[in-house]
Structures are given as structure tokens and as C-alpha cells.
Amino acid sequence: MNIIDHTHDAAALSWVASANDLATDFPLQNLPFCSFRRAGSLEPWRVGVGIGDQILDLTGWGITDLNALMGRPSSERLALRHRLFDTLKAGAPEVELVPQAAAEYTLPCRIGDYSDFYTGIHHARAIGKLFRPDNPLLPNYQWVPIGYHGRSSSIVVSGTPLRRPKGQVKPPDAEVPVFKPSARVDCELEMGLFVGPGNALGEPFGIDEADEHAFGLTLLNDWSARDIQPWEYQPLGPFLSKSFGTTISPWIVTMEALAPFRIPFTRPEGDPQPLPYLDSPAHRANASYDIGLEVWFKTPAMSEPTLLSRSNLRHAYWSLAQMLTHHASNGCNLRPGDLLGTGTISGPAQEEAGSLLELTLGGKQPITLPNGEQRTFMLDGDTMGLRAFAEKPGYRRIGFGPCDGQITAAI
């Protein structure tokens, strides 16, 4: 997965004209996977690869189950990438494609289990300051990758509306809680890591083996009900405040495509270094990723979405490899298609925040939108969109497609 080869050559072009547009998310150097069918049809879902504004159907390639592909060794997945590249590069015989505009999407694979981590230290500190001004960062945060087991059944693909959740809410001045629709629905700017081959029950793997078990990344919005969350999360963690929905992009960008954008993993001077099972020279050399992240927002009264914030995956305090290794370190078996969320990836400045809770200082400082409307949290009909891209001089820009979700009225 660390290999940079001819498939990353920025000069390589495709016979698909839209893939050569410098603004596309899906140039020849990307080749992300999805599960699609023609819009409005009852056709079976098929595995596809994005190229420009088109999709290459892999049914004729004998690839009918993305989970099965995820379970194959990385060497076989790399060989498939080379074959796809050769099929779609300029000069190769043209084959039939499906326009993305004529397709509809479902979740890219079967997601058996979903775990959400808390790797964004700037988010953790900002949230901690709101609730624990004297002790914003809990003492275990810099020693152990914090996570909780989420609900895979409520993961939905980009564009799927989500109902405003109901739950128990206890205002600070109330004697008893009430059951009501959440008034503080929030987004969380995350990336999701899809597991590759995985490990057998009782058989953990080392930090330098983790790359073999990473298939690819997607955009992920772990929706949160901020007024339900503080009442229910003690002592066992999030529950109904999170399980009403998680939105992901329909596209999985492979780790092979992201090889040029790996950067060294470092810790700030004076911070504890990871314990030995989460550390190695090879890991320190290139375990982080330089991937730009954006939060976009649109109300029903707006004709176009507006950019709320920018961040970067490089701000994650724990790496993808550490997430995988720690998850399996007790013998837990990870399986092809399992999904690990990074947690909210905020930058050090407030304008780099990945949640409305941070951007509005806990709802105390409303955001003024370009049309004059104001928001602290999401109202019915509002749409939140996440975007991500990896770019570096000398390489083509790699995008992740849309991760959009609209909040509708509670029932």
C-alpha cells in the first residue's frame, strides 16, 4: 500500500475525457469503488469503479461482491488496480460505461460492524472545555485510542434524508428529564476506514501489519443529538444520541490510491509517546495522511451551499493503523467491510471545527449565513455536506465524492 508506481503518474490520461478535468474527484489515478444500479430500475446492485463522471461496471470482470474483494490480500488488490488503470488509460480500447448522473447508489458494501473512534484531539479539547473547563482532556486520551461500538443498521448512503431523533433530554434547571425531539442536531466531520482481510478471533496483529487490513477510506458524518447525548452517555457512552443515523459517501477510495499522500506520524513535543504495541519506526515514517476536509451547509432558503469550515486528517491524534491495531489487540476479530470512524477531525482554530457544537461555542454564538439566516444547530430541511480531497504537488488531486444528508421533521 506504500507503493507509488505508474498508476500515480500525474501525466497519465484516460480515454474518458471527464477524468482528465483537473477539477474531477475521480481522475485515472483514483479509481474508487461503489455499489450502484441505473436510477429508477430494479436491477441488482453492481460493483463499480468511478472514472471522471462515469462508472465502469465490474460485473463482467467477475467482481460481484465488494466484501469478497476486500478480503483478498493487498497484493491482489494492487494487481486489480493495475488492470483497471490499463483498461481506462488513454489509448486503450474503449468499453461501455454508465454515466454517474444516470445511476443510484447504495452502501458500497455490507457493513457488519461499526466502531467510532475519537482521534481528533482538537475536537476533544474543544468539547471538553464546554463541559469541563478545568479538565478538558481526560487523562486516558493521550494513551489509548478511545472508541465506542456504533450501530451499523442505521448507516445510510449520501443523499438519504434522516428524521430528527427523539430522546430523553434533561435541561440543567429541570428536576426530571423529558422525552422530546432533539433541538441540537449536529454534524461530525469524519473519515471512515473500511477493513480489508481482517483477523481471526483471538489473533491480534502488530502495528506494522495494520496496512494489510486497511482497504480504503470514505467520508463519514456521525450525526449527533447534542441535547440527548450529555444525559445518556454516563457511564456507558453514546447511545440514542448517535444511533439515529450515520451518513457515508457512496465511494471508497483505496489505500493504494492514497499512497502519495502519506506523511510522517508525529506527536507534539512533551506529549506521551504511544505504547510499544502502537509504535514502530516504520509507522512513524508515514502513517498519517494529508487529506483536506470541508463542511458545507445549506438551508431551504439558500440556492447554493456555503462553506462552514476546513480541516485536515493530518490533525488526527491517532493514526488509522493505530485504530486497527488497538481494535484487534484484545483478540477482537475484524472482518472485511467493517467500518471504523475516525471521530470528528477538527483543526486547532475555531474556524477549522468539524461540528456545529464547536463552531457556535456550544450554541452560544450563532453562525450568520450568506443570506442573513442564523443557525446554532440544524433545523428541519437543512442539509449538511462533507467533502474531502488529497492533493500534493506532482500528483493528481484525489476526491472522495459527496457525503450529504438532510434533517427532516420528527414523527
CATH of residue 79: 2.30.30.230
Beta partners for residue 178, in sequence order: 169
Question: Which segments of 144-213 are extended strands (E)?
Answer: 147-149, 155-157, 162-163, 166-169, 178-181, 185-186, 189-195
Out of 80, 106, 132, pick the residue that ends a domain.
106
Residue 320 lies in a domain: yes
* pTM for the whole structure: 0.97
Domain presence at residue 298: yes
pLDDT (tens digit, 9 = 90+) per residue, 207-241?
999 999 999 999 999 999 999 999 998 888 899 99
- Does some domain include residue 202? yes
Same domain, residue pair 87 and 213: no
- DSSP string across 17-59: GGGG-TT-S--TTT--EEEEEETT--PPPEEEEEETTEEEE-G
Q: Is 347 helix (H, G, I), strand (E, B) or coil?
A: coil
Residue with cell 486528517: 313
- Between the alpha carbon of residue 253 and those of residues 56, 69, 150, 219, 319, the distances in Å are 15, 14, 22, 10, 17
pLDDT band at 342 (very low <50, low <70, confident <90, very high): very high
Q: Which domain holds residue 205?
A: 114-408
Same domain, 43 and 120: no
Distance CA 3, CA 203 (A): 27
What per-residue confidence (pLDDT) applies to 315?
Answer: 98
Q: What's the Cα-to-Cα distance from 341 to each of 119, 192, 223, rounded to whole Å?
A: 9, 4, 12
Domain assignment of residue 1, yes or no: no
380 and 323 within one domain: yes
Residues 100 and 137 in one domain: no
Q: What is the pLDDT of residue 134?
A: 83
Residue spans of alpha helices (H) in 92-226 = 121-131
85 and 64 in a single domain? The answer is yes
CB 321 within 8 A of CB 283: yes
Q: What is the pLDDT of residue 142?
A: 97
84 with 124, same domain: the answer is no
Task: Look at residues 171, 162, 176, 166 and name the one whose alpha carbon lies nearest to residue 240.
Answer: 166
pLDDT band per the 50, 70, 90 thresholds, residue 1: low
28 and 141 inside one domain: no
Same domain, 13 and 91: yes
The answer, yes or no, to whether residue 249 has pLDDT greater than 70, is yes
Instruction: Identify whether residues 169 and 195 lie together within a single domain.
Output: yes
**Which three cell numbers mark 53?**
463522471
Domain presence at residue 367? yes
Catalytic positions: 123
User: Both 89 and 136 in a single domain?
Assistant: no
- Number of domains within the chain: 2
pLDDT per position as a tens digit, 346-397 = 999 999 999 999 999 999 999 999 999 999 999 999 999 999 999 999 999 9
Residue 22 lies in a domain: yes
**pLDDT tens profile 303-337:** 999 999 999 999 999 999 999 999 999 999 999 99
Bridge partners, residue 33, by sequence? 49, 252
What CATH number has the domain bearing residue 362? 3.90.850.10
Asked whether residue 56 falls in the same domain as residue 125, the answer is no
Q: Of 106, 122, 154, which residue sits at a domain end? A: 106
Helix (H) or strand (E) holding 298: strand 292-298
CA distance 215 to 42: 29
Domain boundary among 41, 73, 106: 106
Is residue 390 included in any domain, yes or no? yes
Instruction: Give yes or no: residues 194 and 321 share one domain.
Output: yes
Question: Is residue 51 in a domain?
Answer: yes
**Digit-coded pLDDT (tens) for 3-21:** 999 999 999 999 999 999 9
